[in-house]
Amino acid sequence: MTAYSPRLGRLIEALRRLPGVGPKSAQRMALHLLQRDREGAEYLARALGEALSGIERCPRTRMFCEPAHCGFCSASRAKAGQLCVVENPADLIAIENSTPYRGRYFVLGGRLSPLDGIGPEALGLDLLAEQLADGTVQELIIATNPTVEGEATAHYIAELARARNVKVTRIAHGVPMGGELEYVDGGTLSHAFAGRQLL
Amino acid sequence: MTAYSPRLGRLIEALRRLPGVGPKSAQRMALHLLQRDREGAEYLARALGEALSGIERCPRTRMFCEPAHCGFCSASRAKAGQLCVVENPADLIAIENSTPYRGRYFVLGGRLSPLDGIGPEALGLDLLAEQLADGTVQELIIATNPTVEGEATAHYIAELARARNVKVTRIAHGVPMGGELEYVDGGTLSHAFAGRQLL
Ligand SMILES: [Zn+2]
Ligand SMILES: [Zn+2]
């Protein structure tokens, strides 16, 4: 027993597939588009269609890319000889937006998790191993998340690189800039303390 | 300077047109669809297209409807002889979902606001006046919001109905069920007090 007409009901149901969107906000979004922004609805439908038809996984970085415009496989990025490994596309975007790093990337698409059946193949580590073996990488920068599984993944990848004589670094973890020791969680604080550096 | 490829950038931009979606959540939504729910993205694109092509404003209730399935103009609804006026489609849906009312509706699409140039024509009040004059309405239920402009709109519509000898009622306003007097705002409390009823 619902007040939605069939197409309105389907639109609300479809909007609920977006992460973080519950029934109330899906209804608000649908009514907003129909009432005040039909042009926005058209734009969104078109953008979704174009994304689905034109965005692929780059066979080299495993990042989403548009074959004709893959911004992450350029010759200038390769020149630096650095390869940064991240878990997810969002991590790559965060590094690209916040740091001056402009080398190559490798997106795992997850982290090793034997209990969930996520092994080295699922993360494309054979592909990574090939890239580490071809002599183009001087430094492998591991930027997996500082969780138990992220650390285990970092350790596994570090071994892959060392076996191929590639220098391995790991991004630093510690007290966040602007954070106050008093409020930082204990694990982070003890990690930061153990990782203290000479000034 | 962005890490987004053109189509990914456009998808994020399009998602930001949804109400309540900022840059961070738009990025999260876009990556989620591409990474984990391409089927959901297809479903959403299709639902948007079908909504745009198949949902119209009902010429009678001014609610969104699908001409072949207008659930708000049925003969059974007309039989009751009641017409409920609301400001927005979301108000109609709330009444339909929470009350046993199953009469007809009229959606204003806003409220009178002379300063913003929203007059009686913009709210379709000529159309409402016609319906009030055709003898099918025994009771006009006004369910505009209890704001200054909503009250002014209610007052204006009540006059329209009285001039056509149609009985007018207004939904009750007062302390919300489960609310505590202590925490209710003063305006609501004094309204509730003045509107006290004999037990
Ligand atoms: Zn690429
Ligand atoms: Zn209708």
Q: Give me the pLDDT at residue A29, please.
A: 98
Mean pLDDT along residues B34-52: 97
Predicted pLDDT at A159 = 96
In the block, residue with structure tokens 């054979």: A126
A17 to chain B: which residues are within 8 Å by CB?
33, 37, 40, 43-44
Which helix (H) or strand (E) element contains residue A193?
Answer: helix A186-194
Which of B5, B53, B77 to mutate to test binding with chain A, by most A CBs within 10 Å of its CB? B5
Q: Say whether residue B196 is in contact with chain A using an 8 A CB cutoff.
A: no
Going by pLDDT thresholds of 50, 70 and 90, the confidence category of residue B199 is: low
Chain B segment 112-171 residues within 8 A of A by beta carbon are: none
Helix (H) or strand (E) holding A176: none
| Chain A interface, best mutation among B2, B4, B7, B57, by max A CB count within 10 A | B7
Indicate yes or no: CB of B8 within 8 angstroms of CB of A109: no
- How many Cβ atoms from other residues are within 10 Å of residue B152's Cβ? 15
d(CA B12, CA B127): 40
Is B18 close to A6, i.e. CB distance below 8 A?
no
Is the per-residue pLDDT at B1 higher than 50?
no
Residue B115 near residue B58 (C-beta atoms within 8 A): no
Which residue is it, tokens 């092994």?
A119
* Identity at B110, one-letter amino acid code: G
Which residue's entry shows tokens 């006059």?
B159
Rounded distance, CA A46 to CA B48, Å?
A: 10
Does pTM top 0.90 for this prediction?
Answer: no
State the pLDDT at residue A197.
Answer: 75
E-strand ranges in chain A read 56-57, 64-65, 82-86, 104-107, 139-142, 167-170
Asked whether residue B26 carries a pLDDT value surpassing 90, the answer given is: yes
For A1-25, what is the mean pLDDT? 92
Query: Is the pLDDT score of A176 beyond 70?
Result: yes
Share of chain B above pLDDT 90, in %: 67
Of B5, B7, B89, the CB nearest to A35: B89
pLDDT at A181 over 80: no
Total Cβ atoms within 10 A of residue A75: 6
Token representation of residue A196: 């203290």
Distance (Å, whole) CA A6 – CA A11: 9
Question: Which ligand has an atom closest to residue B107 CA?
Answer: 2
Is the pLDDT at B105 greater than 80? The verdict is yes
Q: Where are the domains of chain B?
A: 81-170
Residue in A4, A25, A50 nearest the CB of B20: A25
Separation of CA A83 and ligand 1 centre (Å): 13
Identity of the residue in B8, B19, B51 whose CB atom sits nearest the CB atom of A32 = B19
Q: Give yes or no for residue B15 having a pLDDT over 90.
A: yes
Q: Collapsing DSSP states into helix, strand and coil, what is residue A119?
A: coil
Which chain B residues in 30-59 lie under 8 Å from chain A, judged by CB atoms? 30-35, 37-38, 40-52, 54-55
* Percentage of chain A modeled with pLDDT above 70: 98
For position A199, what pLDDT does the model report?
Answer: 66
pLDDT band (50, 70, 90) for residue B89: very high
The verdict on a CB contact (< 8 Å) between B51 and A41 is yes
Tell me the pLDDT band of B197, cut-offs 50, 70 and 90: confident
For residue A56, the model assigns a pLDDT of 92
> CA B193, CA A58: separation in Å to the nearest integer?
67
Please, where are the H alpha helices in chain B? Answer: 6-15, 23-36, 38-54, 75-79, 89-98, 125-133, 148-162, 186-194
**Best residue of A11, A32, A48 to probe chain B, by most B CBs closer than 10 Å:** A48
Which position has the higher pLDDT, A77 or A48? A48
Q: How close A59 comes to chain B (CA, Å)?
A: 15
ipTM score: 0.85
Ligand nearest to the CA of A70: 1
> In whole angstroms, what is the distance from residue B2 CA to residue A93 CA?
8
| A7 and B CB contact within 8 Å | yes
Q: What is the CATH number of domain B81-170?
A: 3.40.1360.10
Both structure tokens of A89: 């596309």
